[in-house]
């Protein structure tokens, strides 16, 4: 049972909602936005840091996402 609920996209801070919709349009999962959107100041700063890590560099985004999913599975993380 989750200890916190996921916000609906229309409940997010406007800037975070825009980022979530952009990410969703690219095929991304917006669950992280829906959970951490409850702390918009923190999450906005996190996205400034995390965005370049995911979207830039020599390793393709697809490979990074597959690695993230594999690590989550190995750690029995259902998120």
Integer Cα distance of 55 and 32 in angstroms: 16
Q: How is residue 20 written in tokens? A: 């979530």
Query: In this structure, are residues 4 and 35 in contact, taking their beta carbons and an 8 Å threshold?
Result: yes
pLDDT in tens, 5-56: 899 999 999 999 999 999 899 888 899 899 999 999 999 899 889 888 888 8
State yes or no: pLDDT of 58 exceeds 70. Answer: yes
Annotate the chain with DSSP letters as a single string.
--SSPPPPGGGS-HHHHHHHHHHHHTT---HHHHHHTTSHHHHHHHHHHHHHHHHSSSS-HHHHHHHHHHHHHHTT---
Each domain of the chain, given as residue ranges in start order, spans 9-74
């Amino acid at each position: 049972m989750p200890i916190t609920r996921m916000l609906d996209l229309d409940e997010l801070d406007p800037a975070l909602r825009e980022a979530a919709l952009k990410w969703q349009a690219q095929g991304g999962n917006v669950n992280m936005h829906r959970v951490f959107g409850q702390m918009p100041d923190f999450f906005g700063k996190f996205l400034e840091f995390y965005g370049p890590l995911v979207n830039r560099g020599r390793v393709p985004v697809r490979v990074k996402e597959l690695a993230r999913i594999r690590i989550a599975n190995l750690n029995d993380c259902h998120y």
